[in-house]
Amino acid sequence: MSNHLELDDDAKTLVGHLYIDWRRSIDLYKEDRLDQFARRTLIKSITTYFEGFSRSLRTSLLNLESANRLSFDKICVLNDKKLDVSDNGVIEKKAAKYSSVGLLAVAFRCWCELSEISEHEIRQIFGHNDWRKYKETISVRNRLTHPKPGDSFEVSDVEVETALDAMQYMLDLTVRLANIHFSETSGTDAKQ
């Protein structure tokens, strides 16, 4: 166990494949920006990438030596677990159904906490307009993945731009947090 955040080989493979899918979906979209299939594929690949990244990040955070600094409830959420109590007093961990946005947010918050990033900086991350854009992109994905009669199956220009902005923000945020984390765990100060 180390205090350096590192994805295991399976996580690297998963995130790598999902990143390639995202890049290919951008290429498909650029071929014909009006093609609704390409737009839907782009939305789904962006959100799938971050769901895979979120799972990998949560697992990696739990493998850090410093994970013991996290509260029990955060550890349960990072594990996708909730506690249930039977009528005869047996406590069981069960799979939980948390939102993908919430799980990614918890993972980022725990990463910030373990990297000793201030609460003020954390609030700025989640108050940022592009975090809102990420949440909107998830809503579009949900609309496309779970269509209901009367819902639009088309993706607008604004929704595509929102998704692309959100993806760039999330990639930038990940790099920023990684730089802070690695400077913190190696003893240098890059938080300035």
pLDDT tens-digit readout, 109-147:
998 888 888 888 888 888 878 889 999 999 999 999 988
Over residues 59-74, the mean pLDDT reads 90
pLDDT at 150: 80
Task: Give the domain ranges of the chain.
Answer: 9-70+99-185
Here the tokens at position 116 are 């000793």
Is residue 29 predicted with pLDDT exceeding 60?
yes
